[in-house]
A and B are shown apart, each in its own frame.
Chain A
Amino acid sequence: MSRLLDIDRVRELFDLEGSYLAASGGSYQDDPNPAWHALRSEAAIHPGTVHELSGLSTPASFHGLPEPDRQHFSAFTFAACDAVYRDPETFASSPDGADIMGGEAAITNSMLSMGGVQHRRYRSLVQTSFTPAKAEWWIRNWIEETVDLLIDSFASDGRAELNVDFCAAIPVLTITGSFGFPVEQALDVRQALHTPLELIEMLMPIVAARREQPQDDLISMLVEAEITDEAGATQRLSDPEIYSFALLLLAAGSGTTWKQMGIILNILLSRPELLDAVCNDRSLIKPVIDEAVRWLPTDPMFSRWVMKDVELFGTQIPAGSVLHLCLGAANRDPERWERPDEFDITRPPKPTLAFGGGPHICLGMHVARAELTVGLNALLDRLPNLRLDPDQPASRFVGFYERGSTALPVRFG
């Protein structure tokens, strides 16, 4: 049976409970929502980090962590998180910005850490490739083929493990494909996210080739993009600028959608009536995705650095502090959603914070939605009578700062 990717390697790189992701709280097995409800009902903002306030004693690293020399605060209401996102001058996405030409290559040394006009200049270069209207381009060039090949690899087996063999593979193949990497290199790229210089070495020949001859892909768009500096002069992006974008996009675009898709499939497979309804009426896929990113966003926390003394929802926060936004708690705020813990796809449309907010709102959200939609539709089209494998252990939600699903063993046919 020909496989698109080395599945054992995928399992190692995409095991939330394994060592690769241990630092972000991979061993966490509980439901944090009861703790978040209790915290939110006491106050919008608490001193401390989200994991400590939620009862985790093991250290964790993620956005804004560990930062041992700073004071930490965490916000748990929708209103507080939303207000912070809408005031990027007071609440910056990094303590000291980005230095792409001089600084070292790192995922955070990118537009992720920029503010104000500089962020806007860089972001606008890529924004046009990530609009809802561009979703078709992503689907046609990368998503559709990836999804079909993945399902081909297990369609005749009558059983599969979807979390890794399907959910993890789609986004990593989509984003590496858009950067011109062949399938055989996709996992090397994923692994090299921890060693940026190696990743840059893998990118160099592609950038050089696209400078020679652009193609219809994302890396060509970056190579051809022109940026306007403060003085109004336009010029092409330098190699370090392209590498910076590449590191950020390859990191942000491969893990998140995997975990969110595993969460969605876990939700659907454990509710056979809902799965059946969605199978018969595909217009329900959109409300399923909307409700799933509200109910269990894969990255339930991002952080902001407080640039000046502020009072926020009754709490004094000194300049220099880190403020953690518990998006997972905000998305279940009873002030905004009735019966917030219920998974209910009939809710009227209402924006959530699953993709963040403000100027740094997720660049890839429409690509992620396209991956989720095409992936779900294809599974339902090609695997009749899809159900959890009754002979395998039940699938659970795990992880703290990176939440996802354990293995999703299914049967079909």
Chain B
Amino acid sequence: MPSASTGSRRPSLPSSLVPEGGLGFRVEVDRELCMGSGLCTTYAPGTFSQDQHAKVILADPPGDTIDAVRTAAEACPMSAIHVETD
């Protein structure tokens, strides 16, 4: 598992909307691997965005269903997104 980035996070879901006990999954992105395709932002726009260098930015907590985030991870051409269930 590549090291996950911790920087450049932005909030998305208001914490009041996150179910107690968390979402049941965690997302990690490897910003070194990311090549800026933007695909993740089209499948899970509440969880992924891009900075001015086109590098992925991860929202904390994720603002999409686990299905959408998994689809984004599968779509990532660099395999830079990892989803783990609690």
Contacts and interface: CB of A to CB of B under 8 A. Distances in A.
Interface of A: 85-86, 120, 123-124, 127-128, 130-133, 348-351, 356-359, 361, 366
24 contacts: A85-B77, A86-B79, A124-B35, A124-B53, A124-B54, A127-B36, A128-B53, A131-B41, A131-B54, A132-B38, A132-B41, A132-B42, A133-B50, A348-B67, A349-B43, A350-B71, A351-B71, A351-B75, A356-B77, A357-B77, A358-B78, A359-B77, A361-B37, A366-B42
A349 B52 CA distance: 27
Contacts of A128: 36, 52-54
Interface string B37-75: 111011100000010111000000000000110010011
Contacts of A357: 77
Interface of A (DSSP majority class): helix
Nearest to B49: A133
A404 B21 CA distance: 51
Contacts, number: 53
Task: Categorize the interface residue count of chain B.
Answer: 20 to 34
Given A132-B42, A359-B35, A349 B50 contact: no
A393 B50 CA distance: 47
Given A128-B54, A131-B50, A349-B71, A123 B41 contact: no
A133 B57 CA distance: 13
Contacts of B71: 349-351
A124 B74 contact: no
B74 A127 contact: no
Contacts of B78: 358-359
Residue from the set B36, B41, B50, B68 with the largest chain A CB neighbour count within 10 Å: B36
Nearest to B53: A128
A127 B75 CA distance: 17
B26 to A, nearest CB: 21
A130 B36 CA distance: 9
Given A132-B38, A358-B78, 19 more contacts: A86-B77, A124-B35, A124-B36, A124-B53, A124-B54, A127-B37, A128-B36, A128-B52, A131-B50, A132-B42, A133-B50, A349-B43, A350-B71, A356-B77, A357-B77, A359-B77, A361-B39, A361-B77, A366-B42
Contacts of A132: 38, 41-42, 50
